[in-house]
Amino acid sequence: MDLTPQTLAAHLESIPKFWEHWRFVPWSSGPFRGVERNVRFVKDGILGPVAEYNSWDYIVWQAGTDAERQAFWKSVKAIPDVMTQRFLFVLPDPWAERRIRSFFLGLKGYAEFYAIWPEADSKGRYNEKIKDLAGLVELGLSLPEGA
């Protein structure tokens, strides 16, 4: 597959059953399009649950312009009961390999922005914090269109 932002976005959009299997749903905000999912974490102790929190994961394959991403970065706000919001932008230019922002010293959560571009020489070599999401992008790209 010839990898351009347009072909990559078209391919990743053409596999909705794959994203549903991994509990993702379609997502868009302004010029950005992709998928999102909510993951709930529960930490158990001897007497039952000790802590519970949510995490939102976003895989964004229509990533807008640099100025739009900068504005989006500034606009992300804390969400009640959500500890982490991870945004994985799939784009060819190295806009931001990793950006982390805390809300109220981390007590109200974090927003994390990452960027990858899947190429043959980069398979599996991504930041540890997003290896799960990057792996799903690579797996999705290896599927036939419309699978």
Domains in the chain: boundaries: 5-96+106-120+134-142
pLDDT confidence of residue 35? 97
Distance of CA 140 to the CA centre of its chain: 14
d(CA 110, CA 101): 6
pLDDT confidence of residue 23? 96
d(CA 143, CA 116): 19
Task: Give how far Cα 81 sits from Cα of 17, 39, 110, 127, 133, Å.
Answer: 29, 12, 11, 25, 22
d(CA 37, CA 61): 15
Please, what are the averages of pLDDT over each run of 10 residues along the chain (147 residues)?
81 94 94 94 83 89 86 87 88 72 78 81 70 90 82
pLDDT confidence of residue 96? 60
pLDDT confidence of residue 121? 52
User: What end-to-end distance do the CA atoms of the chain give, in Å?
Assistant: 15
d(CA 18, CA 136): 9
Pairing of strands 32-45, 48-63: antiparallel
pLDDT confidence of residue 1? 59
Given 3-state DSSP classes, what are the helix, strand and coil percentages for the chain, each rounded to the nearest 5?
Answer: 30, 40, 35
